[in-house]
Chain A
Amino acid sequence: MNHRAIRAIYLFEMARTWRTLLQSIVSPVVSTSLYFVVFGAAIGSRISEVEGVSYGTFIVPGLIMLSVLTQSIANASFGIYFPKFTGTIYEILSAPISYVEIVLGYVGAAATKSIILGLIILATAGLFVPLHIHHPIWMLTFLVLTAVTFSLFGFIIGIWADGFEKLQMIPMLVVTPLTFLGGSFYSIDMLPAGWRSVALLNPVVYLISGFRWSFYEIADVSVSVSICMTTAFLLICLAVIWWIFRTGYRLKN
């Protein structure tokens, strides 16, 4: 294992985060705070409790997941797309490093950023609403699992994209709608019966449900199903990345 190469890629990517602090950390925190103000305080005050939890508190796990999902994808996809765009990918491809090491460097950095962001948003949420986390270990497990899985997904998008438009396409047209419809702001029990069945086809439902359970012990689906679905998505992403590197898809001629 070329540990120094993993470290070099990881630190290089993390350095980009600190260099673009406003865009990487501050901007998502500001937008999440706005969600609290709008949905938590303004609209939430008119909504009764959801399964014994005030609405403002109820949306906290969903909001964290919303940011972690979108930022994991954005960080990882941009991380690998940018060297392709500038041409500096030649150095990665010609270095004595394995595909596993490349993925560990890029995805590790993207996931780290998302986890840090998730924890910052959690701390920010604590300023707006009272929080009590019933299962902190599970909360961290879901946070890490989601960050890693969606960073892998972002890495795939970054390799697939051959232009900035494609880089934005899947996050904007697929991931954001799925996240909004995945129960970030409501329990799927609040939906009519037919839509509830449709919602269960949305993989994000399982992530948010499991994460919310770790906070309040309330869930739309069972925790074990949430973990299984997230792990399944993780394995699918790993399989796709394995195929990408085996074939050199969009990386090597």
Chain B
Amino acid sequence: MSSIISVANLSKTYGSGFKALKNVNLDIKRGEIFALLGPNGAGKTTLISIICGIANPSEGTVLVGGENIQTSYRKARSLIGLVPQELHTDAFESVWATVSFSRGLFGKPKNPAHIEKVLKDLSLWDKKDNKIITLSGGMKRRVMIAKALSHEPQILFLDEPTAGVDVELRKGMWEVVRTLQQSGVTIILTTHYIEEAEEMADRIGVINKGEIVLVEDKATLMEKLGKKRLTLHLQGKVTTLPDSLSHYELDLCDGGATLVYDYDTKGERTGITSLLSDLRNAGIRFNDLDTTQSSLEDIFVDLVRTS
């Protein structure tokens, strides 16, 4: 798949001297959903702001659809739709007027049929004549998406699209995003919700302290970094573990009723066989066991902690 966005050696230092981005290199593939994860202040919004033209880079280049965002900004920006993190709207405008305004701003001729389709896709059609100030937070968020889609962009940036949105609406947004991807739109989303990235993304990038820590195919990432957890439900409560089990780094949970063992699926030996043998020798019996795969959240927390 070819790159639709290429970020090379991008750095951003604010006037205060704070380095928000440090030599970032990133390629976004055409047609994918790319999730950019990172803790607060990691540089996610700064990166998006530079690509979209809201902030100036200190160093480096960004190509959007092969066009340089600074020397060929008209062509580059016309490919992008941006839904910012904050709900910035013209409170006293109608939904129809504000979405139509966005289309005009991007130099597109009037196309009421397209605006109608966007509003219907986002379940906003019956609110088209309402002033934005009268809408709920979730609806305002959808208006922001409608504005970003009004000029038929090839790339859509969603900066924390479901922040503060209830579960039902969040799932509705996921549907919208999937439909957009099917229509050929490349989607880059930043999120705090790991489940969102896990649910939606084709690839995941992790940014921390202004540096890209990792970019990986989601499935590969889960496979490569995923750990499994073995939970043993003991027949009786155990207060202390014998020294013969200390090298397994076991955790006693539920007041000694369960024993937890984390192991690496990619390791040469998982240690499960010897653990079970040593437990029998130590006289510790269990009546049930289960294993779970570590989530993307666990992976993310590990990465951020170690980067």
Q: Does A88 contact B (CB under 8 A)?
A: yes
Give the distance in Å from the alpha carbon of A86 to the alpha carbon of B132 in the complex: 13
A125 is an interface residue with CB less than 8 A from chain B: no
Among A3, A5, A94, residue most surrounded by chain B Cβ atoms (within 10 Å): A94
For B, the interface residue count at a CB cutoff of 8 angstroms equals 35
Name A90's contact: one of B84, B101, B104 (CB within 8 Å). B84
- Answer yes or no: A46 CB below 8 A from chain B CBs: no
* Residues B105 and A95 in contact, CB atoms below 8 Å apart: yes
Q: How many residues of A contact B (CB 8 A)?
A: 26
Contacts of A7 in B (CB 8 A): 104
Contact between B105 and A8, CB atoms less than 8 A apart: yes
The answer to whether B52 has its CB under 8 Å from any CB of chain A is yes
Contacts of A91 in B (CB 8 A): 82, 88, 102, 105, 147
Q: Which residues of B118-136 have CB atoms within 8 Å of chain A's CB atoms?
A: none
Give Cα A5–Cα B108 distance, bound, in whole angstroms: 8
Partner of B88 from the list A90, A96, A253 (CB cut-off 8 Å) is A90
Contact A96 B82 (CB under 8 A): no
Shortest Cβ distance from residue B47 to the other chain A in the assembled complex, whole angstroms: 13
Chain B residues near A3 (CB, 8 Å)?
A: 107
The A contact surface, by secondary structure, is helix
Check A92/B105 contact, CB under 8 A, given A15-B97, A86-B88, A87-B84.
yes
Cα of A136 to Cα of B84 in the assembled complex, Å: 50
A-B pairs with the 10 shortest C-beta distances?
Answer: A8-B104, A87-B88, A96-B74, A96-B77, A94-B52, A95-B105, A2-B107, A96-B78, A253-B55, A4-B107
For this complex, 30 residue pairs linking A to B, each with C-beta atoms less than 8 Å apart, are A2-B74, A2-B107, A4-B104, A4-B105, A4-B108, A5-B104, A5-B106, A8-B105, A9-B105, A86-B89, A86-B91, A88-B90, A90-B88, A91-B82, A91-B88, A93-B54, A94-B52, A94-B82, A96-B73, A96-B74, A96-B75, A96-B76, A96-B77, A97-B105, A248-B56, A252-B54, A252-B55, A253-B15, A253-B46, A253-B54
Which A residues are closer than 8 A to B by beta carbons? Answer: 2-5, 7-9, 11-12, 15, 19, 86-88, 90-98, 248, 252-253
